[in-house]
């Protein structure tokens, strides 16, 4: 028996509040000035949101309104929750981007050095690791039941963790353990929380072929009470949930966070591009698992390295897959931005429940149609098949 666990957090978790505010600021600037350079960090704590970072833009954004609207959408509309969208303090210390960085980016180079990873596998229809997919399903269900009022005692903060058992071939065989911690009103009993979370949150979102409630270990609000949460329980910061944002600990991570950064920051754009390429490799049938590393130097247009590992699951040698990927995909920041339309205001929806494994969809923003999660397309799978002779 081999066990692997991944966690997710709800949109009301303090770190995720910070991510969503940072990306809401980014979207507001891109909507009017697609050339905006944005690196926005957010701190949230009891009764206050603080914005910091470096921004160069030709537009003006009402930052307090962006912050308050984001908090309101999440559900922080009462001082009893520790932060109230209507009354909280909003402080901004944003400054202009350094001209030393700008001179490298202006010529199409990367906004910083670093390495980024993309990953895909055939465990789920989303071509994602199953533990993180299932953990996100649980936290999304918590939010859905809260927003609709189906479980009116739920409050915005919450977490899930799912442990899967794998066989010797690396295939998931059953859900072994489920952990759910959810903030709640003070007048609801723990017995009610345990019963409703098992019956209405967990059971509806896990697959019958892997989940048996009678053969699964549950830990629901294991401390016994979770009334104080959100920014009142813990300060939240942009970029502290990078494993939740990506693959749940499966595969490697370059270390750079995503939220609040425009596409010149390869921490974000190259991570999206490497996921796009890795997903297409798996979708093409070239491998069951694929991890792609891209590495960049600040101000340099092309990546300094492209590395592909299929962990022995490739039907052709990894070097052949790498050659095909290099032919099909272009990994300069400008090429990634153009191919994935990363100057569009599409980022706030990424800031909760993962950047990957989502469904590409079109949405109207500011009178124009944009595509969300374009890096989740498998539109290059046939091109890879052709080049690999599959």
292/328 Cα distance (integer angstroms)? 14
Q: CB-side exposure of 10: number of CA atoms within 13 Å? A: 28
61/267 Cα distance (integer angstroms)? 24
CB atoms within 10 A of CB 38: 27
**Secondary element (H or E) of residue 243:** helix 242-245
Active site residues: 13, 15-16, 41, 54, 159, 226, 234-235, 240-241, 261, 265, 267
Residues ≥6 apart with Cβ < 8 Å to 209? none
**Secondary element (H or E) of residue 191:** helix 190-196
Annotate 294-337 with DSSP letters as a single string. Answer: EEE-BT-SS-SEEEEE-TT--SS-HHHHHHHHHHH---SHHHHH
Quote the strand ranges of the chain, DSSP E.
Answer: 2-9, 37-45, 48-56, 77-78, 83-84, 89-95, 114-121, 154-166, 172-184, 217-220, 236-237, 289-296, 305-309, 361-365, 368-372
CA distances (Å), origin 354, targets 157, 181, 242, 311: 16, 18, 9, 24
């Amino acid at each position: 028996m081999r066990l692997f666990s991944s966690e997710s957090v709800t949109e009301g978790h303090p770190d995720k509040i910070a991510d969503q505010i940072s990306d809401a600021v980014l979207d507001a600037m891109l909507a009017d000035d697609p050339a905006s350079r944005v690196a926005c960090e957010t701190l949230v704590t009891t009764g206050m949101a603080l914005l910091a970072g470096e921004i160069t833009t030709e537009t003006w954004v009402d930052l307090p309104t962006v912050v308050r609207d984001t908090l309101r959408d999440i559900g922080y509309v009462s001082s009893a929750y520790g932060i109230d969208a209507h009354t909280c303090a909003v402080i901004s210390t944003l400054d202009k981007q350094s001209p030393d960085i700008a001179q490298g980016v202006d010529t199409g180079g990367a906004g910083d050095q670093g390495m980024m990873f993309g990953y895909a596998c055939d465990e789920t229809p989303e071509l994602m690791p199953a533990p993180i997919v299932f953990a996100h399903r649980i936290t999304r269900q918590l939010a859905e039941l809260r927003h609709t009022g189906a479980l009116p005692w739920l409050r915005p903060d919450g977490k899930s963790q799912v442990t899967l058992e794998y066989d010797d071939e690396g295939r998931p065989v059953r859900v072994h353990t489920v952990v759910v911690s959810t903030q709640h009103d003070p007048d609801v009993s723990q017995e009610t929380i345990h019963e409703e979370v098992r019956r209405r949150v967990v059971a509806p979102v896990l697959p019958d072929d892997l989940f048996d409630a009678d053969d699964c270990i549950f830990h629901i609000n294991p401390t016994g009470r979770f009334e104080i949460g959100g920014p009142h329980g813990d300060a939240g910061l942009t970029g502290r949930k990078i494993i939740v944002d990506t693959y749940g600990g499966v595969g490697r991570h370059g270390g750079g966070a995503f939220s609040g950064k425009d596409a010149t920051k390869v921490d974000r754009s190259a991570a999206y591009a490497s996921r796009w390429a890795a997903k297409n490799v798996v979708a093409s049938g070239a491998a069951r698992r694929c991890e792609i590393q891209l590495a960049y130097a600040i101000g340099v247009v092309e990546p300094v390295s492209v590395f592909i590992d299929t962990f022995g699951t490739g039907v052709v040698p990894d070097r052949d897959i790498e050659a095909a990927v290099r032919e099909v995909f272009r990994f300069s920041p400008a090429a990634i931005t153009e191919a994935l339309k990363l100057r569009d205001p599409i980022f706030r929806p990424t800031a909760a429940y993962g950047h990957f494994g989502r469904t590409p969809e079109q949405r109207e923003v500011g009178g124009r149609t944009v595509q969300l999660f374009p890096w989740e397309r498998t539109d290059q799978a046939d091109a890879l098949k052709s080049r690999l002779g599959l």
